[in-house]
Structure 1
């Protein structure tokens, strides 16, 4: 204990203390004693205080400005949101008006012709007897359970259904007399595209999820025509034999097809000079 007490009471080595006494600096204050030194010290202390004071005043002065700008931005966002809602309501109103006009009868059998054109172009809902074709990857492909092809790997595996396979099946349905076709609930039109993007099969830029269900409306000869088509039932049979790709073809008493999503069309109009402009 005496050693600890001595260390605490005499923290400075005696040699250092003796040297400080010799210089006359031991126990002396380091504060400036001259007037110039005191003025410099006061100036050094006042300068940071002045900087802090000016900064606080500027922050306090700019706070109302920032609050006003923030409030103006909020009001602008609210105004634009209200405008967008009004435009959306107007779009829905016009769409309903177009639908009403399409349902109005026209003379000379125009209503019947309009309905037929709507069925062919896919712009209206359709139902009737038809065919259901389901395509699925082979079991070895490891995509059972409805795996999204966008997140699955190994699209190059021969046991995977490819966009080309879906294209051939759809074309075979059209050739066999189909009047309307949909894939996984997406109605096909003359402008529809079936393609691949990475590991995904896209229909009109929308990815499909396994299994691929193709529904088609057609007459009584649709099933036999498709099964005997070289790119229909024959092609699917070869895929199953060579790559174990699974499929099924089932006749349906009723098939419901939704209307296709509307897409922007360009119409040609006469220019008066024998030509046309888009």
Structure 2
């Protein structure tokens, strides 16, 4: 018969011996499963990560080698800064060396421009003097009636300066807006070349005898066209505000305002903000057209009616 008390003592001794020693998560210690400390307990027991410990040990063992690497890094940084500084010095020196040549070229161009301008003024004065001599000779050779008729023709064609009263039409670009999405400028509020053409034609139709746009005299061969955002009148640019001055009847401004052109510009003003004004102009002088050249000319009288019996006149080039 076995002793119950002894059996109990033996089981307690067996259990005590089983629980001694390190934890056994696999439960292989005499068939008993035990567990190690949890993550927080292990973290507080050993807060230093093993990787830091290995790095510290390696740094302690390789101290001189790590210092050499630091020296190499500092040397490389110093060399890089030295190279950059050298390049900056070279670039600055090159710029300073080229500045005199650049300044000299600029001074040369300015001198050429001034010389050409002086030469142009001299030639223009000579041309004016020769023009005056030609006019004096023409008046002395022709009779008074012929000279008066010639002056009337010159005034009509735009060759001569004219003076009188008429109308002054003013057109100003409206505010320019920008598309918030595409960034493109909207040009609906800008005066177009077709608007100036419309105004000039309306003035001619209302009886104007001479018309200028921003000082540019219009003739039978004048052209008003658009070049990008610029408007050219006989290859000369004009900009807002556009002043169209015409010499003609006393009611020229009123007729223009009440006509189709005035109504059209009133519509542009109310819709797009283009400024429009038609007022009377008193005692204005319109300069003659510049560089007016005729490419061909034909006699106004038939050769048979001339009765001169001489050779028939031919078409000429470059006549005025």
- Structure-1-length-normalised TM-score: 0.58
Offset from partner CA, 1:102-122 (integer Å, 9 cap, x none) = 554732611221121111011
Question: Which SS does the other structure have where 1:178 is aligned?
Answer: coil
Equivalence for 2:188: 158
**What residue is the counterpart of 2:98 in the other structure?**
none
1:229-244 mapped onto 2 (5 Å cutoff):
229-230=259-260, 232-244=261-273
SS at match of 1:127: strand
- Which of 246, 258, 262 is 1:216 aligned to? 246
SS in 1 for 2:209: strand
2-structure distance, mates of 1:200, 1:159: 14
1:95 and 2:131 correspond: yes
C-alpha spacing 1:104/1:243, structure 2 compared with 1 (3 Å): farther
CA distance in 1, matches of 2:141, 2:249: 27
Q: Distance in 1 between matches of 2:213 and 2:138?
A: 26
The change in CA–CA distance for 1:211 and 1:267 in structure 2 (over 3 A counts) is same
Q: CA deviation at 1:160?
A: 0.5
Aligned-partner Cα distance in 2 for 1:194–1:98: 31
Matches of 2:258 and 2:163, distance apart in 1: 24
1:95/1:227 Cα in 2 relative to 1: closer, same or farther (>3 Å)?
same
Q: Which has the larger radius of gyration?
A: 2
CA change 1:264–1:217 in 2 (3 A) is same
Once residues 316 and 152 of structure 2 are traced to their aligned partners in structure 1, the CA distance between those partners, rounded to angstroms, is 28
Structure 2 residue corresponding to 1:260, chosen from 289, 301, 319? 289
| Change in CA separation of 1:243 and 1:100 when aligned onto 2, cut-off 3 Å | same
Unaligned 5+ residue runs, structure 2? 1-115, 179-183, 304-310
Q: Aligned runs of 1:135-150 on 2, under 5 Å?
A: 135-140=171-176
Q: Provide the residue aligned with 1:48 in structure 2.
A: none
- Do the aligned partners of 1:129 and 1:217 also contact (CA within 8 Å) in 2? yes
Deviation of the 1:139 alpha carbon? 2.5
**SS in structure 2 at match of 1:117:** helix
| Higher relative contact order, chain-length normalized (CA < 8 Å, sep 6+) | 1
Cα deviations by residue, 1:220-256 (Å, 9 ceiling, x for unpaired) = 23122212221x2111111112222111111122221
The answer on whether the counterparts of 1:187 and 1:260 sit within 8 Å (CA) in structure 2 is yes
The one of 226, 240, 243 equivalent to 2:256 is 226
Q: Match for residue 131 of structure 1?
A: 167
Q: Which runs of 4+ in 1 moved over 4 A?
A: 89-93, 102-105, 269-278
Q: Identify the residue that residue 195 of structure 1 maps to in structure 2.
A: 225
Q: 1:119 aligns with which of 131, 155, 166?
A: 155
Q: 1 or 2, which has the higher helix percentage?
A: 2
Per the TM alignment, residue 208 of structure 1 is displaced from its structure 2 partner at its CA by 0.6
Aligned pairs, number: 184
The CA distance in 1 between the partners of 2:313 and 2:151, in whole Å, is 32
- Aligned partners of 2:284, 2:141: CA distance in 1, in Å? 27
Pair 1:266–1:165, CA change in 2 (3 A): same
Over 3 Å counting, the alpha-carbon distance change for 1:262 and 1:97 in structure 2 is farther
Distance 1:129 1:102 in 2: 29
In structure 1, C-alpha distance between the alignment counterparts of 2:156 and 2:204, rounded to whole Å = 11
Partner of 2:51: none
In 2, are the aligned partners of 1:105 and 1:111 still within 8 Å (CA)?
no
Matched, 1:247 2:247: no
> How far is 1:92 from its partner?
5.0
